[in-house]
Amino acid sequence: MEAPHVLVVDDEDDIRAIAEMSLARIGGFRVTCVADATEALVTMRAGVPDLLLLDNMMPGMSGPELAEVIRADERLADVPIVFMTARVSADDQQRYVDAGGCAFIAKPFDPMTLPDEVRAVLEGGPKGSS
């Protein structure tokens, strides 16, 4: 069986590199990284990923805004979205849920445990993490 495909969307090069290394090397996922929402939509329409790891604050379209576009797209609507964010107040959490997120991972994240958290979402495990 082919490894799940995770699309990482983050405007920070370093964070993309770390997430990719963590998810690919430790988790064994297939990983694609893009830097913004436009690239993300192009990539997703070319091949629907199994999970989207989405930064909250990005230049141009923000994470929640991109999530809403994806939810409105019939072909992409079912892709689980995990937000990566520094902002985790109760209000923020509600915003991620409203935007269609099914979990969030707080930044700074631990690269050693990130793959497990992603796998938990893919397997329909607990929503949200710390």
Q: 41 vs 55, which CB is nearer to another protein?
A: 55
**Shortest distance in whole angstroms from residue 86 CB to another protein:** 5
Give the three-class secondary structure for 105. Answer: strand
Rounded distance between C-alpha atoms, residue 91 and residue 53, angstroms: 20
Tell me how far, at minimum, the Cβ of 107 lies from another protein, in Å: 5
Give the one residue of 48, 62, 111, 122 binding another protein; rule: CB under 8 A: 111
- Say how many residues touch another protein, by CB under 8 A: 20
Whether residue 58 contacts residue 91, with contact meaning beta carbons closer than 8 Å, is answered with no
State which H helix or E strand residue 8 sits in.
strand 5-9
State the Cα angle at 89 between 105 and 86, rounded to 5°. 40
Interface residues with another protein (CB under 8 A) are: 12, 14-15, 18-19, 21-22, 25-26, 86-87, 89-91, 107-112
